[in-house]
Amino acid sequence: MTPDQLVDASTLLWDHWTGGRRLTAIPESIRPASREDAYAVQRLLEARSAGPLFGWKIAATSTAGQKHINVDGPLAGRLLAERAFESGATVPFGHNHMRVAEAEFAFRMGRDLTPRWGPITVGEALDATASLHPAIEIPDSRFDDFTVVGAPQLIADNACADYFVLGDAARDAWREIDLVTHTVHGEVVGKAARDGIGANVLGDPRVALAWLANELSALGITLRAGQVVTTGTCLVPLEIAPGDHVRMDFGVLGHVEARLGI
């Protein structure tokens, strides 16, 4: 894609995102056909943000999730600073189309992981991590039907990112806990509840963290100290509506909650 095509695609998606509108697909004349072009469009979305990048998200970290949106692997997206909240906040509902909340293991980086030749191991990614947090992602898509547009368009659309809620850091002993078998209880208070486990996130949330570090490395992007990486939902997403109270209980790792605006 040419620089002008990248800008036009980014502008189209940003205008639909901020205006609460949907589109069937990015017009063919400016539609990314590769992951590389798609990430280049996404990078321009970050440039429109009001603040420094808050962090990164991973979409489609389960086989079921990948089948649902017809992709063959995970997708990385950016968490924008103005769309990130602390636990207990009221989060705008706005024109949200997907209408779900996800419980996620999130890691805050303690030092940079710079691009390099060769893979970043799980151990190396964890060594660069400062803390683990319970988190809620409230995703959304700018497409009428996000299950049919394919990976490049979904990546360009910031991997269905929208709002994010970060809980307090878990106690330091989280490094000794088996996150694979760790149970998380999610609920929309008074409406619905379900459980999930860490294994639903690429088999292990720590593996998902390393995947994100390697995805960025391949793109020549540094995963920065202070940035948060949220690793994908560990339970079947909970349906939400304006006014709902969402709470995710990670047991000894803490909890995170938010209310949705009306």
Per DSSP, the residues of 40-92 read HHHHHHHHTSSSS--EEEEE--SHHHHHHHT-SS-EEEEE-GGGEEETTPEEP
Q: What is the pLDDT of residue 69?
A: 84
Instruction: Name the CATH code of domain 51-260 (choices 3.90.850.10, 3.30.360.10, 3.40.50.12780, 3.30.70.140).
Output: 3.90.850.10
Residues facing 183 on adjacent strands: 197
Q: What is the pLDDT of residue 64?
A: 76
The pLDDT assigned to 62 comes to 80
User: How far is 6 from 23, CA to CA, in rounded Å?
Assistant: 17
Q: Which pLDDT value is given to residue 15? A: 97
Contact 108, 169 (CB under 8 A): yes
For 31-64, how does the pLDDT look when each residue is reduced to its tens digit (9 = 90+)? Answer: 999 999 999 999 999 999 989 999 999 998 887 7
Total Cβ atoms within 10 A of residue 20 = 12
Task: Kindly report the pTM of this predicted structure.
Answer: 0.96
Q: What is the pLDDT of residue 75?
A: 96
Q: What share of the chain is helix, strand, coil (3-state, %, to 5)?
A: 30, 30, 40
The predicted-structure confidence for 56-95, as pLDDT tens digits, reads as follows 999 988 877 888 788 889 999 999 999 999 999 999 999 9
- The span from the CA of 208 to the CA of 125, in Å, is 10
Which residue type is seen at 131? S
Please check whether residue 232 is in contact with residue 110, taking contact to mean a CB–CB distance below 8 angstroms.
Answer: no
Residue 63's pLDDT is what?
79
Residues 144, 210 contacting (CB under 8 angstroms): no
What pLDDT is stored for residue 20 in this prediction? 93
DSSP assignment, residue 66? Answer: H
Reported confidence tier of residue 220, pLDDT bands at 50, 70, 90: very high
The pLDDT > 70 percentage for the chain reads 100
229-262 confidence digits (pLDDT tens): 999 999 999 999 999 999 999 999 999 999 999 8
Residue 22 pLDDT greater than 80, yes or no = yes
Distance, C-alpha 171 to centroid of its chain: 23
Q: Tens digits of per-residue pLDDT, 143-193? A: 999 999 999 999 999 999 999 999 999 998 999 999 999 999 999 999 999
Q: What one-character DSSP code corresponds to residue 149?
A: S
Q: CA angle, 87 as apex, 81 and 92 as ends, to 5°? A: 60
Q: Mean of the per-residue pLDDT values for the chain?
A: 96
Residue 61: half-sphere exposure toward Cβ, Cα within 13 Å: 33
pLDDT band at 219 (very low <50, low <70, confident <90, very high): very high
- pLDDT the model gives residue 232: 95
